[in-house]
Amino acid sequence: MKTWNDYKEYVKSVDSEAQKDIEEIENIASIVGTLIEKRNSLGLSQRELASMCGIPQSSVAKIESFKTIPNLDTLLKIMKPLGLKLTVSTV
Amino acid sequence: MKTWNDYKEYVKSVDSEAQKDIEEIENIASIVGTLIEKRNSLGLSQRELASMCGIPQSSVAKIESFKTIPNLDTLLKIMKPLGLKLTVSTV
DNA sequence: ACTCACAATAGCATTTATGTTATCATAAAA
DNA sequence: TTTTATGATAACATAAATGCTATTGTGAGT
């Protein structure tokens, strides 16, 4: 069983430019992962959350399952009822 | 001369559901505004920043002038060379 | 077995962001 | 006055997200 790190190292060995793409993927995964955890910790189903956001359940599912990368406005719509906010800070 | 707050109050008086839309707009404006300030403080032109991101200058301009709301991945591409990161936190 | 809630997915239309290239208006500098 | 750099914008094609509706597979509970 290969781990995510195994794939990461492989991709970087094949494509030296992959580093920043990988960082971006992990960044997105981290943000979306936080959404999922928060939704679960609040005991909300995708349908419930979606109706709070005013977006369809299918859109929530696509984002949570990494089928699509959300727009900033959609992301904020979802974060709002979860009590989450997006902050820009310096590295 | 009407201010942004004047328009805000007017819209809210006409549409009571407008509150969260307004918050979302201000949230996006805050994030994009930070990008603009940071780019300027670094003395970078849109063209220079765009080439660092691997995206066209027109895309940067459209986002900075609020012609489009960026995707999460595009936003992260732009933030990277500016030394900015996106953080999810609880309200 | 049956029901129920759930996440995932499918098909389709529509909207929107993105890429590409080029141009425009402006202001600053030569 | 004539470059030069800059941000904004235009037109078009393509890619992608979203909305809408419905369905599927799965697991929990009855």
pLDDT tens-place string over residues A3-52 = 777 878 888 888 777 888 899 999 999 999 999 999 999 999 999 999 99
Pairing of strands A84-90, B84-90: antiparallel
A90 vs B71, B76, B84: nearest CB: B84
Q: Which domains does chain B have, with CATH numbers?
A: 4-82 (1.10.260.40)
Q: What is the pLDDT of residues B30-52, one digit of tens each?
A: 999 999 999 999 999 999 999 99
Instruction: Tell me the β-bridge partners of A84.
Output: B90
Q: What is the pTM of this model?
A: 0.92
Instruction: Tell me the β-bridge partners of B84.
Output: A90
Chain A residues touching residue B85 (CB < 8 angstroms)? 27, 88-91
